[in-house]
Amino acid sequence: MKRFTNACVLFMNRFLPDAFIFAVILTIIVFIAAMPAAGAGPLQMTMAWGKGAWGLLAFSMQMALVVVTGTAFATAPPIKKALEAMAGLAKTPAQGVMLTVLVGSVASFINWGFGLIVGALFGRAVARKIKEADYRMLIAAGYAGFAIWHAGVSGSIPLSLNTAGNLKPDGLTNTGGAVKELISTGDTIFASWNLIMVAACVILTALIFGMAHPKKEDTFIVDPKLLEDQEREYPKPTTPAEWIENSPILAWVIGLAGLVYLAVLFFVKKEVNGTTWGMGLKGLDLNSVNFLFLILGLLMHGTPIRYVHAVLDAAKGAAGVILQVPFYAGIQAMMVFSGGDSGTSLAAVISNFFVSISNNVTFPLWTFLAAGIVNFFVPSGGGQWAVQGPIMMPAGLELGVKPAITGMAIAWGDQWTNMIQPFWALPALGAAGLGAKDIMGYCVLALLVMGVVACVGFTAIGMLGISAL
């Protein structure tokens, strides 16, 4: 196991370029492949790329705020103490990486944005406690928990299937008319087969990471100074402006107002003048997670000026996201471009190929694999659903596969190849101060574990049928 892991790490260190260069190379590959698929010329594809580059601006801001607000929140003294206390449960390097996988997985199952940051910051906390632990592997272990996000309670596909606002005359949005009524999360996220697969992925990944921790001579020990958070000194205020900046009153007024909003959003079911105030778990989206980090970070730092400085320090980690999101938006636009002579798109060609070789038994497996390939080029779970849902959902229904299975097979494929897609690692890398090549070799382990679990699981589902589970 250690030899295989070392080989993966060596390979990624030698051949995986910087995450931005990777995005540029991916852009060229998709540009070339999409032209014959769509029957389009270079100028058409160039226009699709240029117009699409700004299609994820809102998403890029959300991602940047995940890094900034999440990091600023985690550097607050009370949170640092809590992470340090939890990290103290591990006594050896192997235990450290296993515990980090578990913490990152639980956090990602609750919400993917939360998990990306918590996993990385918990890995840093373990590194401070266990000096002999491989820092790169700890951050990879925290990111490995992200492998099950779309099977969790923030999964965009299962939540979309259970959202009344998505109902259209021809069926649920992005299902091509294959779904006529809402599908409960009890049939998707909380289905026994899904929870079994999630548990298997988490447990096996944790065990394998523990077994694969490098030997002492191969361990990457981070400079302790890089793990130290800068401590600013705040002299006693002497002017009215400084009294305001250092007053906890403003922080608590805004903080309490934010907590009231979040409490209503998550726990109150009430309509006022036709507007629904509370949304329950459906309200746990990227915006609400960022708002939660924002409010709790302000409260935990105690005063406005301390929080301002924490955000300034955290903003450095968002640079990679800001730079790369336009390129992935352009890639996504080329993947779905269908304005050429063929009237189809590269994403549709990939999906239709897997449909063509499927039957009622193999369809869940092939759907998972197709989604894994498309996910490599389409960074947004919602974007992938828009691309593949209208193709895979009707095909599955025609073969007798339940829509809940098809939808979750797409969701599992969407999360699977994130383990070797540098884009999604950017928030974790920003918080950890590492590059993509530092952790991707270890992430191959999580990719393989999840691939095996999902292939076995969806093959069994196809053979037994969902009614047997």
Phi, psi of 31 (to 5 degrees): -55, -45
307 lies in some domain: no
- pLDDT above 80 (res 223): no
State mean pLDDT over 88-96: 93
Give the pLDDT confidence score for residue 467 in this predicted structure: 44
Judged by average pLDDT, the poorest of 65-74, 268-277, 282-291, 338-347 is 268-277
Q: How are beta strands 275-276 and 271-272 bridged, if at all? A: antiparallel
Task: Reply yes or no on whether the pLDDT at 169 is more than 60.
Answer: no
- Residue type present at position 236: K
Mean per-residue pLDDT of the chain: 85
> Residue 285 carries which DSSP code?
S
Over 80: is that where the pLDDT of 282 sits? Answer: no
Angstrom CA distances, 148 to 110, 142, 154, stand at 10, 12, 10
In which element (H, E) is residue 56 found? none
- Give the integer Cα–Cα distance in Å for 304 and 424: 31
Which helix (H) or strand (E) segment holds residue 233: the answer is: none
DSSP state of 339: -
Which of the residue ranges 172-176, 414-418, 440-444 would you say has the lowest mean pLDDT?
172-176
pLDDT of 232 > 80? The answer is: no
* Residue 288 scores a pLDDT above 70: yes
Q: Is 150:109 a contact under the CB 8 Å cutoff?
A: no
pLDDT at 87: 92
* Residue 255 within a domain: no
Of 180 and 262, more confident: 262
Number of domains in the chain: 1
Single pTM value for the model? 0.83
Give the burial class of 161: count Cβ atoms within 10 A of its Cβ; 0-12 exposed, 13-18 middle, 19 or more buried: buried
182 or 410, which is more confident?
410
Q: Which residues pair with 168 in a beta bridge?
A: 171
Inter-CA distances, 297 with 252, 294, 302, 308, 429, Å: 11, 5, 9, 10, 20
348 domain residue, yes or no: yes
Residues 301-323, mean pLDDT to the nearest whole number? 86
Residue 19 domain flag: yes
Residue 285 forms part of a structural domain: no
pLDDT at res. 264: 84
Q: How far apart are CA 67 and CA 150, in angstroms?
A: 19
419-422: list long-range contacts, CB under 8 Å, 24+ apart. Answer: 419/143, 419/144, 419/146, 419/147, 419/443, 419/444, 419/446, 419/447, 419/450, 420/444, 420/447, 421/375, 421/376, 421/379, 422/16, 422/19, 422/22, 422/23
Q: Tell me: pLDDT of 385 over 70.
A: yes
pLDDT of 271: 63
Instruction: Indicate whether 303 belongs to any domain.
Output: no
Q: What is the mean pLDDT of residues 384-395?
A: 86
Q: Is residue 412 part of a domain?
A: yes
pLDDT at 469: 45
pLDDT tens track for 5-57? 878 888 887 888 888 888 899 999 999 999 999 999 999 999 999 998 888 78
Residue 421, domain extent: 2-53+81-155+184-228+316-468
> Does 177 map to a domain?
no
Share of the chain above pLDDT 90, in %: 38
Separation between Cα atoms, residue 17 and residue 211, nearest integer Å: 28
281, pLDDT greater than 80:
no
